Amino acid sequence: MNVAILGAGMMGTAIATPIADRGHAVRLVGTPLDGAQVDAMRRTGEHPGLGARLPEAVLPELAPSVADAIGAADAIVLGVSSAGIGWAADVLARHLSRPVPIAMVTKGLQHDGALRILPDVLGSRLPEAVRAAPVAIGGPCIAGELARRRPSAVVFAGRDPRACRRLADAFRGPCYRVATSDDPAGVCTSSALKNAYATAVGIGAGLHELEGGIPGSVAMHNFEAAVFAQALVEMTRLAVVLGGRPETAAGLAGAGDLFVTCQGGRSSRLGRLLGLGRSLADAQREMSTPDCPVTLEGVEIAAVVVRDLPPALAPEDLPLLHRLHAVLFEGAAPASVFECP
């Protein structure tokens, strides 16, 4: 199988490893913003943000080769950030000549007339002649571990069960376990929100460090656990409103993905820096490097959901998300994300 991955960020690059391990030919095509990363991979064989070598079968390419890569693909994986969905939809609409299965590691929600999951947004922007129901990939899968072949378990969710099964069968391997689901709304909503909520949980580590504490059994774990629990409640509420099932938030895409992100993902690191007293802008600068500017999708999702809250929900239905929004954008004290009932 020929697989084109669009987006050479950390997750787009990392997922190339299990796909290549299955013997597929992988072309990793950067967006127009990925030039530095692609150049670094060509020079060193490593993504600058991952520090892990690419499989020899993976070919990093620049954006101008995207038409050729799409034209030759038997399957496409979108590894762009949520902000890159428009670019991806445009290039797919221009260069797809037939329906091709599309998998998305891209996380997020977008207001497109109403708050919608990204696979539905992408599908609606493709010409009908080449339209396929995209498959969302969710679950606890940190890019750095995936690229190093650490055991990972994910869920492929979509409205077309055959497409889910085909991609799951093609990509799963000993270190990349894949379940399937017919609840893309629940999977996508949970996967998107976990980035924001992991930031809220991560604030606890920063507050502990700010007080002179060191990691250990006595820290701010009570704070973190209370925020984690409230996050699951709110993820479930929004998932149900957007058409998902409540149990999905308790599975791989919700609780699983939130837990692993709290262990050291970008969103959790952002929370730590906020807890230490950094502003959002300062934290973003501190987390970025010249070769790998950081993308903080938890910040984007907090802004989108608070701004475009579905009519079926009131702010008091998502109190933690609104308190986090106040910390990120309104200068509220980081400790305010915690509120005793």
Q: How far is CA 303 from the centre of its chain?
A: 16
User: What's the pLDDT at 108?
Assistant: 87
Q: How far is CA 191 from the centre of its chain?
A: 7
CB 70 within 8 A of CB 91: yes
Q: Is residue 331 predicted with pLDDT exceeding 70?
A: yes
Work out the average pLDDT over 276-300: 88
Same-fold call for 2-181 versus 185-337: no
- pLDDT, tens only, 3-41: 999 999 999 999 999 999 999 999 999 999 899 999 999
The pLDDT confidence band at residue 294, using thresholds 50, 70 and 90, is confident
- pLDDT, tens only, 165-213: 999 999 999 999 999 999 999 999 999 999 999 999 999 999 999 999 9
Which ranges in 73-181 belong to alpha helices (H)? 85-95, 118-124, 143-147, 161-171
Work out the average pLDDT over 52-64: 92
Work out the average pLDDT over 240-249: 96
- pLDDT, tens only, 117-137: 999 999 999 999 898 889 999
Q: Is residue 113 predicted with pLDDT exceeding 90?
A: no
Q: Is residue 107 predicted with pLDDT exceeding 90?
A: no
Q: What percent of the chain has pLDDT over 90?
A: 87
Residue boundaries of the structural domains of the chain: 2-181, 185-337
Distance CA 95, CA 68 (A): 8
Distance CA 251, CA 96 (A): 34
> 185-337: what CATH class?
mainly alpha
Residue 26: its H or E element: strand 25-29
Distance CA 252, CA 236 (A): 13
Q: Which fold has domain 2-181?
A: Rossmann fold (3.40.50)
Residue 8: its H or E element: none
Scanning the structure block, which residue is given the tokens 């934290």?
Answer: 283
Q: Is 107 among the residues known to form the active site? A: no
Q: Is residue 341 predicted with pLDDT exceeding 70?
A: no
Q: What are phi and psi of 113, to 5 degrees?
A: 90, -35
Residue 212: its H or E element: none
Exposure letters 113-148 (e unless 16+ CB within 10 A, then b): eebbbbbbbbbebbeeeebbbbbbbbbbbbbbbbbe
Q: Is residue 298 predicted with pLDDT exceeding 70?
A: yes
Work out the average pLDDT over 261-290: 92
User: What's the pLDDT at 340?
Assistant: 56
CB 312 within 8 A of CB 321: no
Distance CA 138, CA 330 (A): 30
Q: Is residue 217 predicted with pLDDT exceeding 70?
A: yes
Scanning the structure block, which residue is given the tokens 């199988």?
Answer: 1
Q: Are strands 152-157 and 135-138 parallel, antiparallel or unpaired?
A: antiparallel
Point out the catalytic residue in the list 194, 208, 237, 278.
Answer: 194
- pLDDT, tens only, 132-167: 889 999 999 999 999 999 999 999 999 999 999 999
Work out the average pLDDT over 83-98: 93
Q: Is residue 321 predicted with pLDDT exceeding 60?
A: yes
